[in-house]
Amino acid sequence: MKSAVACVLLSAVLATSPTAAQDRPCDDQPAALAPSRDLYCIELIAAPGIRAASGRVELGRIPGPFTIAVAADGRLLHQPVITLAGLPSPSSLGSFTTYVAWIATPVMHPVTKLGEVRNGRNVLAAIALEKFVVLITAEDSPAADEPRGKVVLRGQSPATRLQPPDVLQFTLGAAPARSDTAQATNEHAAHMAQAPPPGSDVEWTTVPMPRGLQMLPAEMALRPGVEPYLPRAPADQPIHAARPRELVPLEDGDTLRLDAGLVRRTLKGRSYTMYGFNGQYPGPLIRVPQHAEIVVQFTNRLDQPTTIHWHGVRLDNRFDGVPDLTQDPVPPGGSFTYRVRFPDAGIYWYHPHVREDIQQDLGLYGNLLVRSPRADWYSAANREEVLMLDDLLVGDDGLVPFGREAATHALMGRFGNVFLVNGEPDYRLSVRRGEVVRFLLTNASNTRTFNLSFAGARMKVVASDVGNYEREEWIESVVIAPAERYVVHVRFDEAGETALVNRVYGLDHFRGRLFAETDTLGIVSVMPEAASPDHSRDFASLRRDSVAAAGIARFRAHFDRPVDKSLVLTLRTRDLPFVTERLMQLDSIYFAPVEWSGTMPMMNWASTARQVTWVLRDPATGKENMDIDWRFRAGEIVKLRLANERKSFHAMQHPIHIHGQRFLVLSVNGVANDNLVWKDTVLLPAGATADILVEMSNPGRWMLHCHIAEHLSADMMLAFTVE
């Protein structure tokens, strides 16, 4: 908890507002769609001899540009709000004058002072620990620098429940299947591991284990119960090496030919058959002016049906690219003509909407850069870099195959182990000292949420999915979920090398610990020559975008009104192997708000979309997924509450994407946002709630779904109509 963390305490004022105080984790009578107490509220236990005292610690959200607050090193940040009752006069316990709150690691070293507390509500300094203990002590002075007095109340953070497994759990390696069905699933998986499917040379091998992690023998024996699939080039068809993406500037009325086909990729000395648009990886960077409309003549040269979805673009419904909703899938060898109009400036992207778990992961994605006519759309920068972030799952024998009949990795999603920036594993950029670089970031990965920073460089966020923030904001790192986009300005002050890193904390379920993970995605080489022109003065100020703020202000009358619709995000499973069900029950003692990496690779890999159903449930009707039939009128403003159920079989974050519309994230876990931006995708942490305000401006039948590709393949979607 250094000074960089302390700056977030500006949020304390917001936490006391009447609106923000509703539906909070520690409410006495929590609403049905409230944040999880299990993850965001700590009950304080009175010490022996302290009869009437009680308390709770709300692990409050720190308002900011992201739905979860994370330090650059990956530690979660919380705003502790301690509510106390029944504390006696300190002097009644001895020679004490006050009460003080502290936090410490579970081994009680080091101990950090949070601040003086009293009966009632106390908003204290930010917490930047994963596992910790909270203490309330009676002290002789508020200036005490360590706890010397009497302990009155104590509690433990949710993560302290994460413990190493009992030795008896190791017997699971020899445990029998619980039922004939589960036994059959295991036998089928074993068969698939031994024999390739007819007419294919693809075999299941294994998935790589993250460095330093272990799993039980029964887990290591698991295999998916579907046939393996990887693209294979026809013997009579040469496959060309993928080219780097090309910039394609287009104007209103222009036509672009776009083909999806096979490409050859070489990554770290190994060659793979993958997919690309127009032979490029990523696909062409399409640049258009705002309000333009272009024609895209698409041809499918894959061995699977496909479509193109123009993500985040509020275009005409019939060109949205959703199979069986807005168009028929384009068969192999078939064509389709899209007309795409661009009403909003910003950074967008395009990708398939058929088996995204395969097609998108193998390279079918590209960016759309929509230029505003405003000369001051962004504040000044020396240059602009458009970066697409991705990860690939590569084992000892090459790409880990996908499921032919159904997606694998259906529980947690397919985390990769090779990080890519614009399709390459070693991104490089050379800049001058003092240069301000505008990075337009898109997360094209199937599952992974990144926590990105440029080590040692100052950074501010200026825009997100569908436009600019009301004001620029300093940040330590960028938390970017699948399908989200962020625009950040970074100033490189020191000559030398600056790494683009992803720093997070993973869960080691075997040892019951959280461990730091750092992955380097690229290197920025900063030359000693000074940048020209010098934008340091402009960069040092946080600009307010009066146009964006005025546009959002038109909707403020709707912010505090009741919720119109709600969705509960949960999970059902069937016929999973016994070892998976048993270990998930043990692991469910604690789930992190965000699962940053794939630390249960075998169990996850062996779960398919035949066994896992991810659910969007309307609590008002009980209907789920595609049985939900919401209808709205064009121009209607809808307040929607999303509640990510903690008690499900596997609680996990979900990036929820709404097609064809835009929305504002009003609050998360009852804490209001004070710096808004139009979005089309929102990251909802496990156990969390979010209130979003959707502008239903675009007629048609549209999708709402989780953008973890494997969750979408496991049915986590619904359709709604704007009439």
Distance (Å, rounded) from C-alpha 154 to C-alpha 168? 31
Work out the angle between the directed axes of helices 578-587 and 180-194 (0-180°, nearest 10). 110
b/e 156-183 (16+ beta carbons within 10 angstroms → b): bbbbbebeebeeeeeebeeeebeeeebe
202 — pLDDT class (breaks 50, 70, 90): confident
Q: How many CB atoms lie within 10 A of CB 569?
A: 24
Does 219 share its domain with 311?
no
Does 255 share its domain with 210?
no
In a domain, 479, yes or no: no
Does 215 share its domain with 330?
no
Per DSSP, the residues of 410-464 read: TTT----SEEEETTBSSEEEEEEETEEEEEEEEE--SSPPEEEEETT-EEEEEEE
For position 702, which CATH number holds?
2.60.40.420
Last residue of a domain, one of 349, 371, 393: 371
200 — pLDDT class (breaks 50, 70, 90): low
Does 560 share its domain with 645?
yes
Q: Which two tokens stand for residue 396?
A: 């000892």
Does 139 share its domain with 183?
no
Does 283 share its domain with 363?
yes
Does 627 share its domain with 708?
yes
Decide: 403 and 709 in contact? Cβ < 8 Å: no
Decide: 655 and 690 in contact? Cβ < 8 Å: no
In a domain, 253, yes or no: yes
588 — pLDDT class (breaks 50, 70, 90): low
Does 138 share its domain with 270?
no
Q: Work out the percent of the chain whose per-residue pLDDT is above 90.
A: 80
Mean pLDDT, residues 242-269 taken together: 96
Mean pLDDT, residues 655-682 taken together: 97
pLDDT at 178 exceeding the cut of 50: no
Last residue of a domain, one of 322, 348, 371: 371
CA atoms within 13 A on the CB side of 716: 32
Does 27 share its domain with 91?
yes
In a domain, 718, yes or no: yes
At residue 363, the pLDDT reads 97
Distance (Å, rounded) from C-alpha 698 to C-alpha 63? 30
Residue carrying the six token digits 């994230």 = 665
In 3D space, the residue among 523, 543, 539, 542 whose CA is nearest the CA of residue 531 turns out to be 539
In a domain, 302, yes or no: yes
Does 701 share its domain with 648?
yes
Distance (Å, rounded) from C-alpha 364 to C-alpha 278? 10
587 — pLDDT class (breaks 50, 70, 90): low
In a domain, 57, yes or no: yes
pLDDT at 253 exceeding the cut of 90: yes
Question: Containing domain of residue 19, as a range?
Answer: 3-161
In 3D space, the residue among 428, 426, 418 whose CA is nearest the CA of residue 385 turns out to be 428
At residue 15, the pLDDT reads 37
Distance (Å, rounded) from C-alpha 484 to C-alpha 486? 7
At residue 219, the pLDDT reads 77
pLDDT digits (tens, 9 = 90+) for 32-52: 799 999 999 999 999 998 989
In a domain, 525, yes or no: no
Q: Which two tokens stand for residue 440?
A: 């337009």
Does 569 share its domain with 695?
yes
Mean pLDDT, residues 500-529 taken together: 93
pLDDT digits (tens, 9 = 90+) for 364-404: 999 999 999 999 999 999 999 999 999 999 998 899 999 99
Phi, psi values for residue 89, rounded to 5°: -60, 130
Q: β-strands 41-46, 54-60: how paired?
A: antiparallel
Last residue of a domain, one of 348, 371, 394: 371
Mean pLDDT, residues 229-254 taken together: 93
Decide: 418 and 425 in contact? Cβ < 8 Å: yes
Does 274 share its domain with 217?
no
Mean pLDDT, residues 284-290 taken together: 98
E-strand ranges in 225-353 read: 228-229, 247-249, 255-267, 270-277, 285-289, 293-300, 309-311, 335-341, 346-351
197 — pLDDT class (breaks 50, 70, 90): very low
At residue 648, the pLDDT reads 86
Task: Give how many domains the chain has, as a whole number.
Answer: 4
Q: What share of the chain is helix, strand, coil (3-state, %, to 5)?
A: 15, 40, 45
pLDDT at 166 exceeding the cut of 80: no
In a domain, 348, yes or no: yes
CA atoms within 13 A on the CB side of 537: 3
Mean pLDDT, residues 594-603 taken together: 92
In a domain, 68, yes or no: yes
In 3D space, the residue among 613, 618, 641, 627 whose CA is nearest the CA of residue 712 turns out to be 613
190 — pLDDT class (breaks 50, 70, 90): very low
Q: Is pLDDT larger for residue 1 or for residue 561?
A: 561
